[in-house]
């Protein structure tokens, strides 16, 4: 697979990553199967996907434990990206950016992942009660200690911050400027896809101008852009899409023209799929972009990896770029 460079630390990764969250968090629990997920990770590695993206919160903790079983055997084949700074409680998810907590969280992730060094340690969310420079400084100490190779920052979507009313992306840009003065940022992870393009206007140019890698989260629109979801098909109660405004039957039907466009482009490229076109579109947004599609199935992991071989024509990019914004709130 084509290799791309992640940011200031100049770390090489496969052009397509693997988001491991669906294996143990946020999607239908009845479809989660540890052995099947392990096969998906192995298949991705076999296909040249090296970046494995996880977080201590996923599960919580079980996602890292799952990956640890793979890394015990194939650490040299993988680029390990995990996250700290969020705590999942029974009712709420809260940020904790206190330096002491960050140090403990990193040590715990190392144990679960069965590795002595994390390639990319990402701040999952900035803690509004702790200056982000303090949190970042503690993370920089982890690099000095040899526990971490590079640092990244994650961002929410472009919706407004409920406390301040400001755009989340605008808030993230300010945080990035601040932490960059403390220790180099190697990557930014934020949502970017054909149906959620807000990052094109701020975060992506910031990264490109500074040689920072951009990890495109939810590049397949929580599965919508694969064209395999049926409007009105419903989701299990524990699936995040069951409460998501864009996944009502009405909104899924209204956004079918986006999938239709991806299908048209795919047909011009032989046996390509809509999902592969959506990933190839992201790869075309810049050499610093690495899509991180999430899956728990071996078949989809292999299909996503093959998207690295798909090169879209100029006309394809124009057609996709002309698509209207997706309908439906993203909150």
Catalytic residue among 27, 58, 101, 121: 58
Q: What angle do CA 9, 212, 84 make, to 5 degrees?
A: 75
The alpha-helical segments, DSSP class H, found in the chain are 34-46, 62-74, 99-113, 132-144, 168-180, 203-210, 249-254, 256-267, 274-283, 298-306, 314-321
* 71-to-3, 35, 41, 112, 203 alpha-carbon distances in Å: 20, 15, 10, 10, 31
Question: Under 8 Å CB-to-CB from 164, ≥6 apart: which residues?
Answer: 171
The SS3 of residue 119 is strand
Whole-angstrom distance, CA of residue 132 vs CA of residue 144: 19
Instruction: Supply the DSSP symbol for 160.
Output: B
Active-site annotation holds for 27: no
CB atoms within 10 A of CB 247: 23
In the numeric block, which tokens belong to residue 255? 């956004």
Counting DSSP H helices and E strands in the chain, the numbers are 11, 12
> Which residues are bridge partners to 189 per DSSP?
154, 215
- CA-only gyration radius of the chain, Å: 19
Catalytic residue positions, numbered: 58
């Amino acid at each position: 697979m084509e290799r791309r460079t992640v940011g200031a630390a100049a770390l090489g990764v496969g052009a397509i990553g693997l988001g491991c969250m669906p294996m143990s968090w946020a999607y239908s629990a009845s479809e989660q199967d540890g052995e099947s997920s392990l096969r998906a990770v192995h298949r991705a590695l076999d296909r040249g996907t090296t970046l494995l993206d996880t977080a201590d919160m996923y599960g919580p903790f079980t996602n890292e434990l799952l990956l640890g079983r793979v890394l015990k055997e194939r650490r040299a084949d993988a680029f390990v990206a995990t996250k700290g700074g969020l705590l999942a409680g029974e009712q709420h998810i809260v940020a904790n950016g206190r330096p002491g907590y960050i140090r403990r969280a990193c040590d715990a992730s190392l144990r679960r992942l069965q590795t002595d060094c994390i390639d990319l340690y990402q701040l999952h969310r900035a803690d509004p009660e702790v200056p982000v420079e303090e949190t970042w400084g503690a993370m920089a100490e982890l690099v000095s200690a040899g526990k971490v190779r590079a640092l990244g920052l994650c961002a929410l979507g472009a919706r407004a911050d409920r406390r301040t009313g400001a755009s989340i992306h605008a808030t993230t840009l300010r945080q990035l400027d601040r932490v960059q003065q403390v220790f180099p940022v190697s990557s930014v992870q934020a949502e970017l896809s054909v149906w959620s393009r807000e990052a094109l206007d701020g975060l992506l140019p910031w990264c490109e101008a500074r040689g920072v890698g951009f990890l495109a989260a939810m590049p397949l629109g929580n599965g919508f852009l694969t064209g395999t979801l049926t409007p009105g098909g419903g989701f299990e109660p524990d699936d995040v899409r069951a409460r998501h405004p864009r996944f009502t039957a009405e909104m899924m039907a209204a956004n079918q023209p986006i999938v239709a466009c991806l299908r048209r482009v795919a047909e011009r490229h032989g046996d390509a799929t809509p999902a592969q076109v959506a990933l190839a579109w992201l790869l075309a947004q810049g050499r610093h972009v690495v899509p991180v599609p999430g899956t728990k199935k071996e078949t989809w992991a292999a299909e996503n990896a093959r998207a690295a071989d798909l090169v879209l024509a100029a006309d394809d990019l124009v057609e996709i770029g002309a698509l209207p914004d997706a309908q439906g709130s993203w909150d």
